[in-house]
């Protein structure tokens, strides 16, 4: 009887242990989710601003770029050309990465239209993973602030430029050096308080810092 009792007790303990293990496996995804959510909340409470994420390309030459035009895109009755790296040499350039499917791009677009009314630089658009007809419709309805627009159908150029996600806006000096990068959509406050002052700095020394 003692041997049977011991075996029965062991079987019961094993069954109970098995029952206890199942909830742990079931709860594992929840534990991982809560950990990630906690990390996200911690980053928010620390006041991190995505637009302030540093870029490895700051103060580096613009990457080799050769983008065709957006098919059928016209401005003032003339086709809008694509661009290459050489088009960013000789004058200050604002490069904006956008897409018709990007809701924040639509939100910031009036500020790009305002930017296009200012003097001293050219504006270039990188149309990211978009269909030509959608890009034409987007710029046709909201206005086209760009002098040149390159079609980045596969997103390769965006990778080379170190783009985190659309929209993003770069300031490139006349020597082809990236001087500033704004991540995310421009809003009126940061457009006037952050972006325009950075642009003014580059315009003041278009060929780069003297020291």
| Contact criterion met (CB below 8 Å) for 177 and 59 | yes
- Say if CB 139 and CB 112 are below 8 A apart: no
> Cα Rg for the chain, rounded, in angstroms?
27
pLDDT digits (tens, 9 = 90+) for 136-146: 999 999 999 99
Question: Which stretches of the chain drop beneath a pLDDT of 50?
Answer: 1, 3, 6, 19, 22, 36-50
DSSP string, 57-69: TTTSBPPP-EEPB
CA distance 130 to 133: 9
pLDDT of residue 45: 35
CA atoms within 13 A on the CB side of 201: 13
Please, which residues have CB within 8 angstroms of residue 138's CB and are 6 or more apart in sequence?
Answer: 98, 100, 105, 106, 130
Instruction: Please report the pLDDT score of residue 96 as a whole number.
Output: 98
**Among positive and negative, which fits the CA dihedral 72, 172, 168, 189?**
negative
Output the pLDDT for position 29: 62
pLDDT at 23: 56
Q: How far is CA 100 from CA 23, 50, 97, 109, in A?
A: 46, 22, 11, 11
pLDDT of 48: 46
pTM for this prediction: 0.76
The pairing of beta strand 66-67 with beta strand 74-75:
unpaired
Query: Would you state the pLDDT for residue 11?
Result: 52
Tell me which residue has tokens 């149309």.
127
Contact present, 63 and 161 (Cβ < 8 Å): yes
pLDDT of residue 68: 98
Q: What is the pLDDT of residue 209?
A: 80
Residue 211's pLDDT is: 56
Q: Strand order in 148-152's β-sheet?
A: 148-152, 122-128, 93-98, 168-172, 178-183
Instruction: Give the pLDDT confidence score for residue 26 in this predicted structure.
Output: 57
Q: Burial level of 205, CB count in 10 A (0-12/13-18/19+)?
A: middle
């Amino acid at each position: 009887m003692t041997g049977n009792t011991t075996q029965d007790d062991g079987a019961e303990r094993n069954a109970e242990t098995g029952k206890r293990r199942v909830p742990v496996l079931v709860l594992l995804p929840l534990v991982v989710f809560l950990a990630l959510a906690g990390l996200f909340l911690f980053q928010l409470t620390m006041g991190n601003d995505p637009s302030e994420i540093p870029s490895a390309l700051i103060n580096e030459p613009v990457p080799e770029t050769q983008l065709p035009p957006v098919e059928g895109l016209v401005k003032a009755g003339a086709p809008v050309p694509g661009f290459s790296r050489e088009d960013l040499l000789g004058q200050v350039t604002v490069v904006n990465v956008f897409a018709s499917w990007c809701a924040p791009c639509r939100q910031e677009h009036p500020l790009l239209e305002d930017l296009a009314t200012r003097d001293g630089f050219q504006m270039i658009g990188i149309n990211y993973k978009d269909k030509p007809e959608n890009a034409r419709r987007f710029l046709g309805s909201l206005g086209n602030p760009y002098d040149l627009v390159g079609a980045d159908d596969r997103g390769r150029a965006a990778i080379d430029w170190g783009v985190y996600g659309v929209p993003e806006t770069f300031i490139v000096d006349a020597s082809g050096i990236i001087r500033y990068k704004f991540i995310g959509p421009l809003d009126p406050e940061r457009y006037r308080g952050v972006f325009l002052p950075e642009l003014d700095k580059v315009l003041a020394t278009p060929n780069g810092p003297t020291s």
